[in-house]
């Protein structure tokens, strides 16, 4: 929280609120244009937890990094926690079998980023569609391609549990086979299927929630509301017309190239992040992607 540049000032006249929190809604965080200069609090449903190795944090010793995702009112936000939080957060998920646990985060700072992570400037991960189709190695790769068409047929969103696993629909609710438990309050997430083409070929890519939200620049909650308001049951298109806005768009896709067990390759790739920034795309184009070897 504090480092060598932190200033401490004496305050003699202060009134403390009876409410000890300065609560912000998740959607309020998106209005920040600069890093916050004071500490705020936020509350939301805990969706996922991921632990990373110990890293250097400012002037402090190496600390564990835990990345969690909170959800509220159609908004998803990632939070970076430094310290021994992993067991506590994982326990919260496992001990809440019927719905995502509610988490209150106290005293954190907002840092503004451009949603472009380090892998988008790591040219050692650059690939093309032909490489992805021919190679069997698991890994994370970046490709530059153009979206040619949408391949969704009434399946552009899905229900998932806090672990982000797809749920099975039962007569009285949902069941998560990954967690082996019944889910009371399922979460809706994007699942946008697109045909992407580059200079080496074309293939099918699936953009899940975060990647689809970044590319469409729309929240799933808003898209569903608009879709349901504009179309009657007698005529419902296979996907929202706003999806057509990304056809012809050139993008960098961060692809998780992974086989499940010994399942043979079927030509469909999972996209975990995307970027349509012209500067980033240009840098990849300058590189001789076709000569990259793995």
Q: CATH number for the domain including 245?
A: 2.40.50.140
Total count of domains within the chain: 2
Domain boundary residue, one of 89, 108, 127: 108
Residue 43 falls within a domain, yes or no? yes
Give me the pLDDT at residue 287, please.
Answer: 59
Residue 166 has pLDDT above 90, yes or no: no
C-alpha span between 112 and 105 (Å, rounded): 18
Indicate the helix (H) or strand (E) that contains 57: none
Q: How confident is the model at residue 195 (pLDDT cuts 50, 70, 90)?
A: very high
C-alpha span between 262 and 228 (Å, rounded): 40
Contact (CB, 8 A) for 98 and 170: no
For residue 275, the cross-strand partners are 252
- Domain with 270, as residue range(s), is 118-291
Per DSSP, the three-state class of 50 is strand
Residue 288 has pLDDT above 80, yes or no: no
Give me the pLDDT at residue 140, please.
Answer: 84
Mean per-residue pLDDT, 188-215: 90
Residue 18 falls within a domain, yes or no? no
Residue 3 falls within a domain, yes or no? no
Residue 191 has pLDDT above 80, yes or no: yes
Q: Are residues 97 and 143 in the same domain?
A: no
Q: Are residues 104 and 150 in the same domain?
A: no
Quote the percentage of the chain above a pLDDT of 90. 13
Give me the pLDDT at residue 32, please.
Answer: 64
Give me the pLDDT at residue 289, please.
Answer: 44
Give tens-digit pLDDT for 149-161.
999 988 899 888 7
Q: Are residues 198 and 73 in the same domain?
A: no
Exposure string over 235-273, b if 16+ CB within 10 A, otherwise e: eeeebbeebeebeeeebbbbbebeeeeeeeeeeebebeb
Indicate the helix (H) or strand (E) that contains 18: none
C-alpha span between 188 and 67 (Å, rounded): 21
In the block, tokens 């390759």 appear at 265
Q: pTM to 2 decimals? A: 0.62
> Backbone dihedral region of 263: left (phi > 0), alpha (psi from -120 to 50 degrees) or beta?
beta
Q: For the chain, give the mean pLDDT.
A: 76
Q: Are residues 90 and 205 in the same domain?
A: no
C-alpha span between 78 and 117 (Å, rounded): 13
Mean per-residue pLDDT, 48-68: 64
Give me the pLDDT at residue 290, please.
Answer: 44
Mean per-residue pLDDT, 107-129: 66
Residue 1 falls within a domain, yes or no? no
Helices (H), the chain: 86-94, 129-134, 209-216, 220-230, 278-286
């Amino acid at each position: 929280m504090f480092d060598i540049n932190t200033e401490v000032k004496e305050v003699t006249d202060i009134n403390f609120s009876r409410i000890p929190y300065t609560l912000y809604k998740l959607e309020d965080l998106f209005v920040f244009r600069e890093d916050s200069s004071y500490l705020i609090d936020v509350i939301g449903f805990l969706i996922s937890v991921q632990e990373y190795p110990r890293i250097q944090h400012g002037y402090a010793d190496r600390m564990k990094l835990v990345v969690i995702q909170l959800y509220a009112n159609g908004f998803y936000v990632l939070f970076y926690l430094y310290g021994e939080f992993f067991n506590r957060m994982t326990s919260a998920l496992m001990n809440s079998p019927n719905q995502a646990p509610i988490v209150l985060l106290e005293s954190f700072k907002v840092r503004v980023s451009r949603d472009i992570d380090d892998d988008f400037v790591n040219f050692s991960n650059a690939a093309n569609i032909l490489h992805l189709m021919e190679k069997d190695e698991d890994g994370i790769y970046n490709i530059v391609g153009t979206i040619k068409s949408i391949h969704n047929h009434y399946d552009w969103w899905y229900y998932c549990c806090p672990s982000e696993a797809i749920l099975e629909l039962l007569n009285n609710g949902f069941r998560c086979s990954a967690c082996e438990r019944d889910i009371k309050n399922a979460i809706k997430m994007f699942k946008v299927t697109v045909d992407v083409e580059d200079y080496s070929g074309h293939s099918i890519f699936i953009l899940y929630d975060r990647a689809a939200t970044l590319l469409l620049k729309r929240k799933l909650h808003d898209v569903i509301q608009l879709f349901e308001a504009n179309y009657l049951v007698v005529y419902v298109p296979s996907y929202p017309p706003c999806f057509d806005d990304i056809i012809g768009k050139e993008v960098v896709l961060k692809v998780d190239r992974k086989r499940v067990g010994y399942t043979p390759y079927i030509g469909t790739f999972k996209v975990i992040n995307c970027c349509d920034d012209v500067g980033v795309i240009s840098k990849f184009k300058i590189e001789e992607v076709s000569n990259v070897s793995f």
